[in-house]
Structure 1
Amino acid sequence: MSYARVIHYATSILCCNKGSMDFLQLHRKVFQRFEITEDDFWYIVRKCPRFAVAKNTSDRTSEEWSSDYMIVAKTSLRICKNYTKYECSDCQELHLCKYFVYGNCRYGKGRKQCKFSHNVRSEHNYPLLRECTLHELHEDDLFLLLLQNDPTLLPEVCSHYNKGAGPYGACTFKASCTKLHMCQHFIQDDCMFGRKCKRLHTIDEYGRRMLEERGLSGDVIHDLPDVYRNLFRLSTYTSREGAAEPVVRPTVQSEERSEICLHFLRRNCRFQDQCIRIHFNLPYKWEVFDGECWRDLRRMEEIERAYCDPRNTHSPGSRPVDFLAMRRDSDPVRRLSTASSVTKPSHYILTTDWLWYYKGDHENWIEYGRPDDKQRVTSVVSRELEAAFLTDSSAEVTVMKGHRQYFLSFQDMYQRNPKHNTKRRVRRRPRFVSITEVENKIAR
């Protein structure tokens, strides 16, 4: 797995979510595309300079340790202050029109061309973005990243507004103040009054007018409360950098990992208790969350056998596992497994061989690459689909069967016929491996 791709994707998600998210939410989003464990992802956000880890002091009901920490998108890149003064020719900062970043340059919209660059991929800017691995970031996401990391781009929060009584606090400029009137404790995430606070937690009409006069667009103004909170989080993070460990994470038990160790199955894992993967005697493991921790489900082989049949939506028994919702009654269920067979060389034993099926005309399920009841075969097979899915779990793949073209969406697991506007369900299930087969393979 490329950590660079994970970092880029996580940055995009953060910027699309106003610059920050709690760790658990971010990991869930990233996990949809890259099956990276919490441990590995935590290591990335802790060590990569693209992210800052800040204590989450907002009200929460979750007891997950990872909800205690906010991950904030971070960059050292800035817009050159001397560029618009014609005093800089070559530097390590972006040469861009500030109002273009604000989303409201009046020259960019009219016939008269702006004197300053609106091109993030210019000869000067692109190498800087590439060096910071921000060259693939969407323009709007890049601008949000710059705004929340460079405090000089935005007006200060008025300290006088946050003192004294009255609607303007102690600010003598009142509605004509050129600084932002907003509750300082809201920005610091520690306002004890919440919605009953007398100070603004949003941008009012006067603030909006002042910000518009400074050239900020309505979309940017809408996100500013979150941008200011992230500016504060980043300033707090920066002030404690240099400490040996800015944040201490509680120990994550081995049961929180998500991949079964192939070497342990072959009885030769040299890491033993220090291994980052799960040590289990089967290439699959079914667990249920009982409110405190994940526990093994009974009759694991029986559940696995049922799950491997794409026709089944539930396991057998009086308390069946719902394979579509991954629950037993109201309790979450998860299936852990070894690495996908397409990610390892062919001589590796007991990897998980994932098979891909589409629903046939007679309530039957047909594996991709196998003939249907009319002896027609799809242009792609399970292994090709699995490789494409692991590369991008939100992609869409073109499938041919005879002269007909279909589109398979990994995101909603449907195969669509664009000509007739019909669709078929798609399922990804592992090839069944019995306990006896596991033992025989290990013995060989």
Structure 2
Amino acid sequence: MSYASYARVIHYATSILCCNKGSMDLVELYRKVFRRFDITENDFWYIVRKCPRFAVVRSAGASERGPEDWGSDCTVVAKTSLRICKNYTKYECGDCQELHLCKYFVYGNCRYGKGRKQCKFSHDVRSEHNYPLLRECTLHELHEEDLFLLLLQNDPTLLPEVCSHYNKGSGPYGACTFKATCTKLHICQHFIQDDCRFGHRCKRLHAVDEYGRRMLEERGLSGEIIHDLPFIYKNVYRLSLNTPYPEREGMALEPMVRPAPQSEERTEICLHFLRRNCRFQDQCIRIHFNLPYKWEVFDGECWRDLRHMEEIERTYCDPRNTHSPGSRPVDFLTMTRDSDPVRRLSTASSVNKPPHYILTTQWLWIEYGKADDKQRVTSLTSRDLEVAYLTDSNAEITVMKGHRQYYLSFQDMYQRNPKHNTKRKVRRRPRFISITEVEEKIAR
């Protein structure tokens, strides 16, 4: 299966889950996906286990051996790391990494959106602020109602809590002293956890009653969402049980990867994984990622992906730039963000692989091998310098330009003129490749 197909499988499976109230039995989901995509059970199992878009939740005692043991004891739940910005409606947020949307629009019941008076807050999921965030998480093609369900079961600030006191004691309201005026949801906790042994004979609610409906409507939730809330709360609980793979926050395709390594040794991105044919899978000694570059920041405990990865890469590839855009820029010269260390991982250099290898990193030594305004050309090309640099990154080499001689130090990245004792900074930057270009190259 090609890389482009792999991305489409994730999108299609997400759509199916959202249309099915956010979760589905693993076998049933596979059957629906298989009707459109020729994907093996092993490949599908790998996707749902490794891609952070999905959580696989097993019942107690279920086997961990693999897809040959599939059954109704496995449920797949749709996940996302995106959240609604809490400060947006307080006019306290300018540029952040969360969606700027009217909460009641997500609830499906904004009164301003239905009348002549326009809502003060955005109802546009494709706004200049929101669309790049959706694209990074590959949710930009998802229907609005599917996106909203995804947010409801993943963003803990959008729904009221289940009342723990209601689930204690006896009586119609349990031990809840607020009774019908409680602002938390009265519903059976064991029903949500899929372990209520009383079924329809249970004294606790397994659906939203009249009082709960009234409370939820006052909060702005639409009748359709209220009807589906028991299923959504089940998914919220399932997601709390699942041990998550780290969310991939800064890329257009959420990949099937394991947590970022703590050591500095594994810094090369696997070319075979990019082409969807790495036979080593979890045992691979290289990083599995969906792009030929990866930007990470060290938070004191581990390396985490940076958001807006494509934009950071685009800026970095221009040698004139020393900082990335945004309110918390990456300093390309010191490779830090707010004093936190930043690193860029990449695929192997193009000089180390045969020409037919796609998505290698083409490093460019700026101005080398090109004629200047006097038509003078350096004795070494950008490729020559790259070969020398990879051979010995601490070396100092001699470069001729016309009749002038220069010393180029790889260690401090300066070019020095020994005659006049002047020097200037040298920059080695990669050729930029967009997410779209990556997908097109693999598709071809």
TM-score, scaled to structure 1: 0.53
1:103 aligns with 2:108: yes
3-state SS of the aligned residue for 2:71? helix
Distance 1:238 1:3, change over 3 A: same
Question: What is aligned with 2:29?
Answer: 26
Question: What is aligned with 1:9?
Answer: 12
Question: What is aligned with 2:51?
Answer: 48
Offset at residue 235 of structure 1 (A): 1.1
Q: 1:170 aligns with which of 175, 194, 215?
A: 175
The residue type paired with residue 191 of structure 2 is F
1:222 aligns with 2:227: yes
The residue type paired with residue 118 of structure 1 is H
Q: Distance in 1 between matches of 2:37 and 2:174?
A: 49
Cα shift readout 1:90-110 (whole Å, capped 9, x = no counterpart): 000000000000000000001
The residue type paired with residue 133 of structure 1 is T
Question: What is aligned with 1:140?
Answer: 145
The residue type paired with residue 27 of structure 2 is L
User: In the alignment, is the contact (CA less than 8 A) between 2:192 and 2:237 conserved in 1?
Assistant: yes
User: In the alignment, is the contact (CA less than 8 A) between 1:56 and 1:67 conserved in 2?
Assistant: no
Offset at residue 154 of structure 1 (A): 0.3
Offset at residue 67 of structure 1 (A): 1.7
Distance 1:129 1:245, change over 3 A: closer
Q: Distance in 2 between matches of 1:148 and 1:78?
A: 11
Q: Distance in 1 between matches of 2:109 and 2:70?
A: 41
Offset at residue 240 of structure 1 (A): 9.2
Question: What is aligned with 1:267?
Answer: none
Q: 1:123 aligns with which of 83, 108, 128?
A: 128
Distance 1:17 1:240, change over 3 A: same
The residue type paired with residue 16 of structure 1 is C
The ranges of structure 1 where at least 4 consecutive aligned residues each deviate by more than 3 angstroms after the TM superposition are 238-242
User: In the alignment, is the contact (CA less than 8 A) between 2:52 and 2:244 conserved in 1?
Assistant: no
TM-score, scaled to structure 2: 0.53
The residue type paired with residue 38 of structure 1 is E
Offset at residue 181 of structure 1 (A): 0.1
User: In the alignment, is the contact (CA less than 8 A) between 1:19 and 1:227 conserved in 2?
Assistant: yes
Question: What is aligned with 1:197?
Answer: 202
User: In the alignment, is the contact (CA less than 8 A) between 2:153 and 2:232 conserved in 1?
Assistant: yes
How large is the RMSD of aligned CA atoms in angstroms?
A: 2.5
Q: Distance in 2 between matches of 1:91 and 1:181?
A: 35
Offset at residue 131 of structure 1 (A): 0.4
Q: Distance in 1 between matches of 2:33 and 2:200?
A: 32
Offset at residue 65 of structure 1 (A): 2.8
Greater RCO (Cα-Cα under 8 Å, separation 6 or more)? 2
User: In the alignment, is the contact (CA less than 8 A) between 2:50 and 2:245 conserved in 1?
Assistant: no
Offset at residue 238 of structure 1 (A): 4.0
Q: Distance in 1 between matches of 2:126 and 2:49?
A: 29
3-state SS of the aligned residue for 2:81? coil
Question: What is aligned with 1:152?
Answer: 157
Question: What is aligned with 1:212?
Answer: 217
User: In the alignment, is the contact (CA less than 8 A) between 2:26 and 2:70 conserved in 1?
Assistant: no
User: In the alignment, is the contact (CA less than 8 A) between 2:55 and 2:244 conserved in 1?
Assistant: no
- 5+ residue gaps, structure 1, are 247-270, 272-390, 392-444
1:231 aligns with 2:236: yes
Distance 1:56 1:14, change over 3 A: farther
The residue type paired with residue 188 of structure 1 is Q
The residue type paired with residue 136 of structure 1 is E
